[in-house]
Chains A and B, each alone.
Chain A
């Protein structure tokens, strides 16, 4: 017999062959670990989330998710989300050295804002019920298809959506290309109707008073918008420890994109508000984004880093960096620190106020959410396995949003007032999977 002992690389060759055996056998017909436990069974996730901005909006959200995996690996996922929002939201007007009075969005009644305070509309409360259904199944070898429907209803808002996605696995399922389409149809029926662009905020009417002043500023009771998205994605398993993903998405929003509750202060040369005008935004917006994500599995810890660059024809550019560390503590419990950084430039028509005597622009909004800003989130999640294998987790996060001046001059009184007030929020979440 030829002497095999001369083959010094026997161990290495055997290791290589073994790795190939278990990676390809795993990808093949042999059942995967999760199949033995989840076959044909429902699994449920529930979460309760509390979000609170200092002095502003508070939101409580309950999420209930049910997922059923069938023996042929088809998945039905149903998700119900209920949000309750209360509190105050910035109405767009600037702070003033004197008390300001604003008409409520309904036109009925008003509210006062103290000197020096950022005007917040405290009538902000709503309940939203959202339902999503998604069906995913293998279409052919290496092809997975998914279709879904979405309905969301608020007091003054209805959103209906459908989506479809197809994914193709190749390179022994180490690579996946996906292509998705979605379409949303939203109808907005705001309290008090749709205001005319740049109309002066009317004086409030009270019980049994004449509504004609309010009605003169309205152009209708509802309006709608459509959103169409196209998404292409590529996922690549680099090696046993690393997986990366790239997405590109193109989104076209068409219709009523103005916020009927937002106004702009019209100030004179001394910076004193003379009038409040309803904002006006373009009726089309084209958004694009690229997204890259890498997950790296160290011996114990998993690092998940993602970056998104979004740009649109409103000239809003944003960068988002999101990082999570998954740190197992043994016994199925884990810690997950989370850091997120977000920065955006202002929309071209964003301006904190309008100047008296200047020609009205075609579009203007003082909504801080489309202004220049930097935001970060820092948080920690702790999860544990309960007796019986159910998962319970707690998440606590701090969110800070810092709007910044785009360089608008601040005449007179405005110079000494805070025009770009930050938002600080605490997010608390409890999740339970069973």
Chain B
């Protein structure tokens, strides 16, 4: 895995473009600076940080802290301040979303396989899996976490967005020049471009082959997108989206296929986009009422 980790720093007319792969996404940082050494430094710092977060919180990496927790079978696992802060954050959002956002909901993927087929799981299997879902069953403090056997944590809903925000924090310590961080469509910037214009960001909605990339202007702050048009099940004319309600174990009805949300920080944008999808029919209304700038595709 690590041997594929390389960072490319390419010159652009107005600065440099730094590219690397992480979290199963193409990552890109655009820096409006002339200093190649500084660009290299930023590339090194950010890629290492994103890979660090991936190595720590990816559920696919058997060495990760996340995997350790998931395989703990109810034994306490030691955590550090960063993990404690992330768990606290997830807890806050669990409360705010009234249980719809749940870090333990990932196990539902074992019964729901969104492969465009008609294999909708049975009520029984969903109910059985739901026994392993429930944030309220997770016990943790600032030193350790206890996760019951067969339960799993999935940081997928916040990991990439968290990495975007952390990257920008690192960059701000290195330069005040305009920088855009784009980790596979979740992105954030510290400032408008040097010419005073906003960043023009092409938002790709995964799975929409026929739709053009949507271009969004961003002066400052972050964007995150939730939804994937290719992941669904179709049975008896009913479309089951991959947006699952952690409280029922069933997909949300009439959710938009994709929602892009703008917020001061990427992790906020990501959570708001997810939360909006969970509102189904009311997704756009929900965001409008909260006065949150968004772009939805149905």
Q: Do A and B bind each other?
A: yes
A26 and B45 alpha carbons, distance in the complex (Å): 15
A212 proximity list for chain B (CB < 8 A):
none
Contacts A1-B247, A4-B279 given; does A33 touch B37 at CB 8 Å: no
Does any Cβ of B come within 8 Å of A13's Cβ? yes
0/1 string, A16-36, CB within 8 A of B gives 1: 011011101111111111101
B96 proximity list for chain A (CB < 8 A):
4, 7, 10, 13-14, 17
Does any Cβ of B come within 8 Å of A361's Cβ? no
Does any Cβ of B come within 8 Å of A15's Cβ? yes
Which residue of chain A has its CB nearest to the CB of B272? Answer: A14
From the candidates B100, B268, B286, B289, name the one contacting A18 in the complex (CB within 8 A). Answer: B268
Q: Are A28 and B290 interface neighbours, CB within 8 A?
A: no
A36 proximity list for chain B (CB < 8 A):
44-45, 48-49, 170
Q: Are A5 and B279 interface neighbours, CB within 8 A?
A: yes
Does any Cβ of B come within 8 Å of A357's Cβ? no
Does any Cβ of A come within 8 Å of B6's Cβ? no
Q: Are B170 and A25 interface neighbours, CB within 8 A?
A: no
B286 proximity list for chain A (CB < 8 A):
4-5
From the candidates B41, B165, B278, B292, name the one contacting A11 in the complex (CB within 8 A). Answer: B292
Does any Cβ of B come within 8 Å of A387's Cβ? yes
Q: Are A15 and B268 interface neighbours, CB within 8 A?
A: yes
Does any Cβ of B come within 8 Å of A233's Cβ? no
Does any Cβ of A come within 8 Å of B182's Cβ? no
A20 and B93 alpha carbons, distance in the complex (Å): 13
Does any Cβ of B come within 8 Å of A171's Cβ? no
Does any Cβ of A come within 8 Å of B275's Cβ? yes
Q: Are A25 and B49 interface neighbours, CB within 8 A?
A: no
Chain B CB within 10 A, most for which of A18, A24, A28: A18
From the candidates A11, A28, A331, A332, name the one contacting B81 in the complex (CB within 8 A). Answer: A28
A-B contact count (CB 8 A): 120
A389 proximity list for chain B (CB < 8 A):
35, 37-38, 41
From the candidates B81, B84, B88, B268, name the one contacting A14 in the complex (CB within 8 A). Answer: B268
Q: Are A34 and B86 interface neighbours, CB within 8 A?
A: no
From the candidates A1, A25, A330, A331, name the one contacting B245 in the complex (CB within 8 A). Answer: A1
| B253-284 CB contacts (< 8 Å) to partner A | 263-265, 267-268, 271-272, 275, 278-279, 282
Q: How far is the CB of A40 from chain B (nearest CB, A)?
A: 14
Q: Are B290 and A11 interface neighbours, CB within 8 A?
A: yes
From the candidates B97, B169, B268, name the one contacting A4 in the complex (CB within 8 A). Answer: B97
From the candidates A30, A34, A330, name the one contacting B176 in the complex (CB within 8 A). Answer: A330
Q: Are B268 and A25 interface neighbours, CB within 8 A?
A: no
Q: Are B292 and A28 interface neighbours, CB within 8 A?
A: no
Does any Cβ of B come within 8 Å of A328's Cβ? yes
Does any Cβ of B come within 8 Å of A408's Cβ? no
Q: How far is the CB of B139 from chain A (nearest CB, A)?
A: 19
B52 proximity list for chain A (CB < 8 A):
30-31
Q: How far is the CB of B81 from chain A (nearest CB, A)?
A: 2
Q: Are B84 and A21 interface neighbours, CB within 8 A?
A: no
Contacts A2-B98, A36-B45, A36-B48 given; does A14 touch B93 at CB 8 Å: yes
Q: Are A29 and B100 interface neighbours, CB within 8 A?
A: no
Contacts A30-B166, A330-B176, A389-B38 given; does A1 touch B98 at CB 8 Å: yes
Q: How far is the CB of A119 from chain B (nearest CB, A)?
A: 54
| B37-84 CB contacts (< 8 Å) to partner A | 37-38, 41, 44-45, 48-49, 52, 80-84
A20 and B37 alpha carbons, distance in the complex (Å): 33
A17 and B94 alpha carbons, distance in the complex (Å): 12
From the candidates B35, B93, B100, B165, name the one contacting A17 in the complex (CB within 8 A). Answer: B93
Q: Are B264 and A15 interface neighbours, CB within 8 A?
A: yes
B37 proximity list for chain A (CB < 8 A):
387-389
Does any Cβ of A come within 8 Å of B89's Cβ? yes
Which residue of chain A has its CB nearest to the CB of B275? Answer: A4
Contacts A13-B92, A387-B37, A389-B41 given; does A28 touch B80 at CB 8 Å: yes
Task: Report, nearest first, the 9 A-B pairs whose CB atoms are least far apart.
Answer: A28-B81, A33-B173, A29-B80, A25-B85, A17-B92, A24-B85, A36-B45, A21-B89, A25-B82
Query: What are 15 sample pairs from A and B whose C-beta atoms fall under 8 A apart?
Result: A1-B245, A5-B282, A7-B96, A15-B264, A17-B92, A18-B265, A21-B85, A21-B89, A25-B82, A26-B169, A30-B81, A33-B173, A330-B176, A332-B175, A332-B176
Contacts beyond the supplied A17-B88, A18-B165, A29-B83: 18 A-B pairs with Cβ under 8 Å: A4-B279, A5-B289, A10-B96, A14-B96, A17-B93, A18-B264, A18-B265, A21-B85, A24-B88, A25-B86, A26-B169, A30-B52, A30-B81, A30-B82, A33-B169, A37-B45, A328-B176, A332-B176
